[in-house]
Amino acid sequence: MLDPTSPGAVRDLLQRHGFRIKKNLGQNFLIDGNIINKIIIAAELNSTDTVVEIGPGVGALTTRLAQKAERVIAIEIDRTVLPLLAETLDGLDNVTLVEADALKTDINRLVQDQTGTLAGGYKVVANLPYYITTPLIMHLLERHTAAQRIVVMVQEEVARRLCASPGTKDYGALTVTANYYAVVKTAFKVPRTVFLPRPEVDSAVVSMTVRKSPAVDVVNEQVFFALVRAAFQQRRKTLLNALVSMDKGLSRDRWLDILQQAGINPVRRGETLNLQEFARLADAYANLR
Ligand code: SAM
């Protein structure tokens, strides 16, 4: 069986198929079995798991996932990679390949259609295409409540943003959203040398354990996320000024009342608020506006 983690075997496979790597699709293939083992360990897979992989590429991660889990559903946008995958996945009968754009895929429904149930949940494990890392993470967290755990390789800078503390430059709407839905941890760092071709940045594997209910209770989720966006869109402004420009229908004094009710100093910058403070602010706004 072809070893899709061996650099020589991958080069040979690409050459035999005359495959041209598409940088615009974020095609950086993993060619290091140790890193793949570490991803498998971080995913804490067991033999009854359904795993969704985004972007199987030539199958380096897919083959190992298929050996550990009950079933793998792999979503790949590039149809020209499918003949190569057919070779590396030869003999594995628990992998379903779906040719689609993961960003436009309702993954809950896909799992339901393929397995007949969502009751056991599923895990997402992927070496993400870097040109759409943030939208893919948002898509997974916001729409796919049946996902239990998401273990993904991302650019190191995105891993820092996902795990950042309030008040730091990496802290932003992505941090708040991810931590609202999941317990987020950086599992380990990955040097750029383990990919073919080499990307321009180092990477990290992040593990997100999806919470059964969000980290904070809010009266109105839309209001919560609108305030989060407003706070980070204008990072240099005080919270009061950022809020006044977000909802011009409310007077400055009204905003001061809302901030007072939430117990938040109006001269703070929005980027210093933690999740609980954003939640208090959202509830005070929902009550008093
Ligand atoms: N899993 C392989 C590995 O680890 O070697 C390949 C990872 S490579 C970083 C990203 C893969 O995602 C590529 O195969 C690429 O074609 C695919 N891809 C890019 N955009 C996609 C999208 N919107 N939906 C699904 N797959 C996508």
Give the model's confidence band at 289: pLDDT under 50 very low, under 70 low, under 90 confident, else very high: confident
pLDDT tens for 45-62 read 999 999 999 999 999 999
pLDDT (tens digit per residue) in 267-286: 999 999 999 999 999 999 99
pLDDT at 165 over 80: yes
Average pLDDT over residues 77-87: 96
Q: Which atom of ligand 1 is nearest to the CA of 78?
A: 16
State yes or no: pLDDT of 16 exceeds 80: yes
Confidence of residue 248 (pLDDT cuts 50, 70, 90): confident
Q: Whose CA is closest to atom 1 on ligand 1?
A: 56
Closest-CA residue, ligand 1 atom 18, reads: 55
Rounded to whole angstroms, the Cα distance separating 208 from 154 reads: 12
- pLDDT score at 54: 98
Question: CA-CA distance, 99 to 224, in Å (whole number)?
Answer: 35
Share of the chain above pLDDT 70, in %: 100
Q: Answer whether residue 143 shows pLDDT above 90.
A: no
Residue type, 146: A
What distance, in Å, lies between the first and last C-alpha atoms of the chain? 64
Q: Label residues 103-137 b or e (16+ Cβ within 10 Å = b).
A: eebebbebbeeebeebeebbbbbbbbbbebbbebb
- 1 pLDDT exceeds 70? no
Question: Per residue in 105-123, pLDDT tens?
Answer: 999 999 999 999 999 899 9
Q: Ligand 1, from 76, 106, 154: best to mutate by most atoms within 8 Å of Cβ?
A: 76
- Using the atom order of ligand 1, give the atom closest to the CA of residue 53: 1
Protein residue with least CA distance to atom 22, ligand 1: 101
7-210 shares its CATH topology with 221-288? no
- Confidence band, pLDDT 50/70/90 cuts, at residue 21: very high
Q: What is the mean pLDDT of residues 175-182?
A: 97
Beta carbons within 8 Å of 258's beta carbon, 6+ residues apart: 243, 250, 281, 284, 285, 288, 289
The answer to whether 92 and 99 are in contact (CB under 8 A) is no
The binding site for S-adenosyl-L-methionine comprises: 28, 30, 55, 76, 101, 127
Give the pLDDT mean for 79-101: 96
pTM of the model: 0.95
Place of tokens 């990679």: 81
Tell me, what's the pLDDT at 144?
78
Check whether 94 has a pLDDT greater than 80. Answer: yes
Domain 221-288 has CATH 1.10.8.100: yes
Instruction: Summarize pLDDT for 196-242 with one digit per residue, the tens.
Output: 999 999 999 999 999 999 999 999 999 999 999 999 998 889 999 99
* Over residues 30-46, mean pLDDT: 97
Q: How far is the CA of 115 from the centre of ligand 1 (A)?
A: 23
Distance 76 CA to ligand 1 centre (A): 6
Distance from residue 48's CA to the centre of ligand 1 (Å): 25
The ligand 1 atom nearest the CA atom of 104: 23
Q: Which residues line ligand 1 (CB under 6 A)?
A: 25-30, 54-57, 60-61, 75-78, 81, 101-103, 127, 129, 132
Sorted by where each begins, the domain ranges of the chain are: 7-210, 221-288
pLDDT at residue 12, rounded to an integer: 95
Q: CA neighbours within 13 Å on the CB side: how many for 162?
A: 31
Spatial distance between the Cα atoms of 84 and 88, rounded to a whole number of angstroms:
7
Residues 202/189, Cβ–Cβ less than 8 Å = yes
pLDDT at 42 over 80: yes
Q: What is the pLDDT of residue 234?
A: 85
pLDDT, position 181:
97
pLDDT greater than 90 at residue 18: yes
What is the pLDDT at residue 9? Answer: 93
The mean predicted confidence, pLDDT, of the chain is 95
Q: b/e map of 53-85 (b: 16 or more CB within 10 Å)? A: bbbbbbbbbbbbbbebbebbbbbbbbeebeebb
Pairing of strands 95-99, 71-76: parallel
Mutation choice for ligand 1 from 11, 53, 77, 151, CB with most ligand atoms inside 8 A? 77
Q: In CATH terms, is domain 7-210 a member of 3.40.50.150?
A: yes
Taking 80 as the threshold, does the pLDDT of residue 89 lie above it? yes
CB 62 within 8 A of CB 56: yes
Ligand 1 centroid–CA 25 distance in Å is 7
